[in-house]
A and B are shown apart, each in its own frame.
Chain A
């Protein structure tokens, strides 16, 4: 019997992503074991609402709590804030309530998204 593992089958948890890229965990620690299905990059909330898929990691520079409303409704795995941005207080609270981690990096969107893409494909 042979077992074939294709490239699409890379499975990763949010915690592994945090470790691999030294991401800061701001909140939502209970969701660190969420499985990642892919990524989505956008700062337009309706774009994410309309096009992001369940289990994706959302890379954005928006820091207000509507980010968490969307992450929750779309059942995203985590949110990564770029360029050293930090979540607002109510974003922080909402993230903890929903168990969806808000992560941070000093990298710009291009670099973070590139890293995530390479890791997941």
Chain B
């Protein structure tokens, strides 16, 4: 089963749409609530990252018999220093975004903690690709 979502830059009102849809679907499939709780944290954070930091992108979620794989791809600007971005508390978010309670430097660490497999690749001027998976 495959789901695809477009994620627009700057539109915080839509952040949570993908995670909410996927959560409903996993519930219908009677996936273990513990698995659902973890993956929705990762998906929500990934959505917010695309909204807050990129020029826009998309999310692909694939559910198979053994788990869920999510690929989040944006069209730039790319992350300058991935190691720093992965550090708890490090953020390049604007003041406006921080005032909303985002940009605390916890997004990527939250994704890392709440997934079984997680990779991040980024190229300046091109974009960032996150791939993560949780097993049922």
Contacts and interface: CB of A to CB of B under 8 A. Distances in A.
Interface of A: 43-47, 49-50, 54, 60, 62, 64-66, 69-70, 72-74, 90
Interface in B92-130: 100-102, 104, 106-107, 109-110, 113-114
The interface residues of chain B, by DSSP majority, are classed as helix
A49 to B, nearest CB: 5
A46 B102 contact: yes
Interface stretch (B39-47, B63-71, B78-86): B39-47
A70 B12 contact: no
Given A46-B104, A69-B44, A73-B23, 10 more contacts: A45-B102, A50-B41, A62-B100, A64-B12, A64-B100, A66-B12, A66-B101, A70-B44, A73-B16, A73-B20
A64 B44 CA distance: 16
Interface of B: 12-13, 15-16, 19-20, 23, 37, 40-41, 44-45, 48, 100-102, 104, 106-107, 109-110, 113-114
Nearest to B113: A50
Would you call the interface of chain A mostly helix, strand, loop, or mixed? Answer: helix
7 contacts: A43-B101, A44-B106, A47-B104, A47-B106, A50-B110, A66-B100, A74-B37
